[in-house]
Amino acid sequence: MFHLTPDEWTAIALSLRIAVVATLASLPLGIFTAYALARWNFPGKTLVNGFVHLPLVLPPVVTGFILLILLGRRGVFGPFLQSIGIVLSFRWTGAAVACAVMGFPLMVRAMRLSFEGIDRRLERASGSLGASGLWTFLLVSLPLAVPGIIVGAILAFAKALGEFGATITFVSNIPGETQTISAAIYTLTQVPGGDVGAMRLTIIAIVIALAALIASEIIQRWAEKRVASFE
């Protein structure tokens, strides 16, 4: 029963690759967005905030369809992307984009809270010591927000591992290219005798999820100790 088929191994490896790439690729934009929402006042802030949270409230299929309209081969930006050598539809990279979009609100939320929790007086002190806004961000705000950034990244990673609706709508369910663990389980439940395979993948999914949670707990505890406030 615990002998995984090559297709199942492929699905597992693909899921991890997509989740890791989606998380890492959205990290810089996530941190920037979270910091901007936490610290800056700019016109249209509410709108930006709403836009960031949209994938959280929209049905995933809708998000996937919007991605298809915007980034698909015949989509609004598809031909342009293709002209610079980027094809997303029906590729694992497209799956990563879908997962990044779906995980983005969770990532930004956790990070924003973390930035908002930083004592502004520390940033002011940094400025009085001669550090420009960028240096203050890099040397004070960012390190102090690390626990929240880790939480945000783990949430986005977990979301990416489990993403199904937007992914399958945008990039379909192609074994070896876009078939993640979730999509593979779905496929297996649709064929006679697929239950055993579905069960195996389910157990794998649980193990990965637990490992990620435990790892995040350990990293976060370490990070919080480093930035423990004292006043």
Partner 1 sequence: MIEVDVGLDLGAFKLSVAFADGQGITALFGQSGSGKSLTLNLIAGLLRPDRGFIRLDGEPLVDVAKGVFVPPHRRRIGLVFQDSNLFPHMSVKQNLLYGRWFAPKFSREIEFDAVIDTLGIGALLARRPARLSGGERQRVAIGRALLSCPKLLLFDEPLAALDMARKLEIMPLIERIRDEFKVPIVYVSHAVEEVMRLAASVVVLEAGKVKAIGDPNEVFGAPAGSLEDRFDRSSVLTVTVGPEDAAYGLTQLKHPAGTIWLAGPAGPPGRTVRIIVHASDVLLAIRPLSDVSVRNVLSGVIQSIQTNGPFAMTEIALEGGGRLAAVATRQAIDDLHLEDGSRVLALVKTTAIDERDIAATPHA
Interface residue list for partner 1 (CB under 8 A): 119, 121-122, 124-133, 135-136, 139-140, 143-144, 226-231
In the complex with partner 1, which residue's Cβ is closer, 2 or 231? 231
Residue 59 makes CB contacts below 8 A (sequence gap 6+) with: 165
In the complex with partner 1, which residue's Cβ is closer, 125 or 203? 125
State the nearest-atom distance from the C-beta of 135 to partner 1, in Å: 7
State the nearest-atom distance from the C-beta of 134 to partner 1, in Å: 10
State the nearest-atom distance from the C-beta of 124 to partner 1, in Å: 7
Count of CA atoms in the C-beta half-sphere (13 A) of 43: 0
How far apart are the C-alpha atoms of 100 and 26, rounded to whole Å?
Answer: 6
Query: Looking up tokens 């969770």, which residue turns up?
Result: 106
How far apart are the C-alpha atoms of 201 and 206, rounded to whole Å?
Answer: 9
State the nearest-atom distance from the C-beta of 148 to partner 1, in Å: 13
In the complex with partner 1, which residue's Cβ is closer, 95 or 140? 140
Nearest CA among 186, 217, 142 for reference residue 15:
186
Residue 22, classed as helix, strand or coil, is: helix
* DSSP summary character for residue 118: S
In the complex with partner 1, which residue's Cβ is closer, 139 or 199? 139
How would you classify residue 193: left for phi > 0, otherwise alpha for psi between -120 and 50, otherwise beta? left
How far apart are the C-alpha atoms of 199 and 185, rounded to whole Å?
Answer: 8
State the nearest-atom distance from the C-beta of 131 to partner 1, in Å: 5
In the complex with partner 1, which residue's Cβ is closer, 127 or 162? 127
- The rounded Cα 175 to chain-centroid distance in angstroms is 22
Q: Do 211 and 154 contact (CB within 8 A), yes or no?
A: no
State the nearest-atom distance from the C-beta of 224 to partner 1, in Å: 11
Query: Looking up tokens 């950034």, which residue turns up?
Result: 149
Q: Which helix (H) or strand (E) holds 228?
A: none
In the complex with partner 1, which residue's Cβ is closer, 61 or 227? 227
State the nearest-atom distance from the C-beta of 179 to partner 1, in Å: 43
In the complex with partner 1, which residue's Cβ is closer, 67 or 140? 140
